[in-house]
Amino acid sequence: MIPLPLARIAEITSGALTGMADPRAVVRGPVVIDSRAVEPGSLFVAIKGARVDGHDFAAQAIRAGAVAVLATRPVEGPAVIVPDAAAALAELATAQAAALPDVTVIGVTGSAGKTSTKDLLARLTARVGPTIAPVGSFNNELGHPLTVLRADLDTRFMVLELAARNIGHIKDLTRIAPPQIGVVLNVGTAHLGVFGGKEAIAKAKGELVEALPRTGVAVLNADDPLVRAMASRTDARVTFFGRGESASIRAEGVTVDARGRASFTLRTPSGSAPVSLQLYGEHAVDNALAAAAAGYELGLPVATIAAELSQATPLSRWRMEVTDRADGVTVVNDAYNANPDSMRAAFAAFEVLGRGRRRFAVIAALRELGDEGPALNAELGRLAGGSGLAGLIVAGPDAGPVLEGARSAAAEAQAAAQAALDAQAAAQAAAGVPQAPVPHQDAPQGWHGPSPDQGWHGPAQDQGWHGPAPDQGWHGPAQDQGWHGPSPEQGAPQPGRQAPGAGGVPPQGWQAPPAGGPVAGAPPGAGAAYPAQAMRIVHVPDAEAAAAELAGWLRPGDAVLVKGPRAMGLERTAELVLGGAAQ
């Protein structure tokens, strides 16, 4: 921050110095609301929350080197006493931003993708000059001014994330640091219950473009009708990004690799360049386009934009973090927050990333959806239940609609799969293909085929398949959690991978079942008739219980998606599954 004496801070905030505060003492920053983040020269702002009162930590902050405390009552040590600490923080940030006339402020808002876009855009602006951007999602009435106060006389760009929980919130944030460029990503269903409808959400998000000066630029998503309509709410110049021809900054030829990372051609009015993202999920393309459009308006060459986007890795935690355990289990930690739109995006990305593997998910009921909550949570359950998972864990309260939707969709999917298998068996029987008998229901973990010279058999307890002869197939022993081809020329798959059929060709969708758990896919052998397997769906009370349940299901090579509302703390589930301690 710009160094300020306590006398000037008291003047800006209309505060009074107490506790033997020296008006000449200079605050050089940072300004913090967490006493553990205090450094010598800091200003500690004592915020009284629902569970913790910052005033109780004032003495600790002074001992750690804080010059003074911005407080609403006298504390032990030098202080600036104000009527409202949060309002005083905003006033201080407003004065600091006004003292930086050479800084370009870029605001980013939207129902989903704000943090990822902010991270990408800050990477681009750093190519031009010193940049300040929020840590994580510092985007509300406290985090926003704290970010602004990190700027100093060397700062050239502030990339700020603006969140809204009601009409007027973004307008208030733009008064602190008036933006010259405003980026609006989308209008979705986050906080739907608070706002009362998507039109109200659009009204709130559009406050960003309304705050732009005539000389500014509104960067709008051409693919979202509610965002596109915001062009009429600003006198600033408008630039559209998207995937359609109407967008001046657009993605063409989007492809997604086996890990769910997108590549595309970035097309701009002055040329094009290839982009290969290291971010997970095709939805990252839209965030990259928004950042590219703002970067283009700043004068960055398209080749530079494409190169920076291609090199960018995830910065903010718990947002599509993909980690592989030593045993090949892949954990997708997207637990920072969730709404219906981000849930759909996460499951779409997970389907690609987990293709050909057993997939599991840990989710929780979505919140702040108002009267539509039960219906939207039932829709979430149907999304998960129809996603081809081997197992689903729903954690936390209000899980009824999610469980009901998941069980309904899973039953429909199982019935459809069984009908397809029966039709295939009937067609093969009509063609004279020998049929394996349907296994008895009392043989829980094994399949029994015909005689060794015709097919496969798997005794009930060994959870595996045995081929008739080494030169004709393969076998899966009881405890190795994998499949092994009997001869070198057929290959030996790694533990947990799909089992090969004759000639070492993996039969589509077949995976070894866990002990007592669900099985995905089908046993090998043309013409086999067998029951389609049901998805396991359970409800647990919390994040720790979800991790414990999941530990009994996972086998090498599986994939797990963890996603839920912030209040559920499902990042603890991911951390425990990865072998870490809950935080």
Annotated binding site for ATP: 110-116
Q: Alpha-carbon distance 393 to 363, whole Å?
A: 6
Q: Give residues with Cβ within 8 angstroms of 80, minimum separation 6.
A: 6, 9, 10, 13, 15, 16, 17, 18, 21, 68, 69, 70, 71, 88
- Whether the CB-CB separation of 427 and 421 falls below 8 Å is answered with no
How far apart are the C-alpha atoms of 120 and 113, rounded to whole Å? 11
Is 276:257 a contact under the CB 8 Å cutoff? no
Structure tokens belonging to residue 120 = 């990408």
Q: What is the CA radius of gyration of the chain?
A: 28
3-state secondary structure 400-422: HHHHHHHHHHHHHHHHHHHHHHH
The amino acid occupying position 402 is V
- Residue owning tokens 């997939």: 359
Tell me if 452 sits within 8 A of 468, measured CB to CB: yes
φ, ψ of residue 385 to 5 degrees: the values are: -65, -25
Q: Which residues are part of a known binding site?
A: 110-116
Give the CA angle between residues 359, 554, 498 to the nearest 5°. 60
Element (H, E) at 245: none
Angle made by CA atoms 339, 341, 342, in degrees to the nearest 5: 70
In whole angstroms, what is the distance from residue 343 CA to residue 375 CA? 15
Q: Which residue is associated with the tokens 């839209």? A: 286
Helix (H, G, I), strand (E, B) or coil at 105: strand
- Residue 182, strand partner residues: 107, 218
What six digits make up the tokens of 576? 């425990």
Rounded CA gap, 558 and 543, in Å? 19
Please give the backbone phi and psi of residue 274, each rounded to the nearest 5 degrees, phi first: -80, 145
